[in-house]
Structure 1
């Protein structure tokens, strides 16, 4: 079983050649790898599992 947590991307940047982002989980902000979501943009929602964004979510 895996646990994916939804969050909102609030910043995108590159670190050591990887697409990274700051993701807000209801007030807690974490740095997340966004390499698996190449079309991710600031304002998108994503499901995060062990520090990796694994899919985009519809805001609804």
Structure 2
């Protein structure tokens, strides 16, 4: 299943065009190559697909979505939780 969990931008490296994002406590890098220049700023919430930031999401909507994801994750065991967070944006064929 493909989930795009809202992630908060915590750092931007303009030299590599990569953003460091926080997805429910897990930090990783995502490419800004598909976004317009200067469209994404530190503190923005974004949606990621296969390692690329695809769009920004309103903070209120992001926080609402995160609360729902937390409820879903609470019903999973630890391994399932980590896999859902780490692999949620790595969907293929969609």
Check whether TM > 0.5: yes
TM-score under structure 1 normalisation? Answer: 0.83
After superposition, give the CA deviation of every residue in 1:1-60 in whole Å (9 maximum; x if it has no partner). Answer: 753221000000022xxx111000011001000122221000000001111000000001
**Structure ranking higher in helix proportion:** 2
CA distance in 1, matches of 2:3, 2:35: 18
CA distance in 1, matches of 2:3, 2:49: 6
**Structure ranking higher in strand proportion:** 1
Secondary structure of 2:53's counterpart equals: strand
Highest Rg: 1 or 2?
A: 2
TM-score under structure 2 normalisation? Answer: 0.55
Secondary structure of 2:9's counterpart equals: strand
**Moved segments of 4+, more than 3 Å:** none
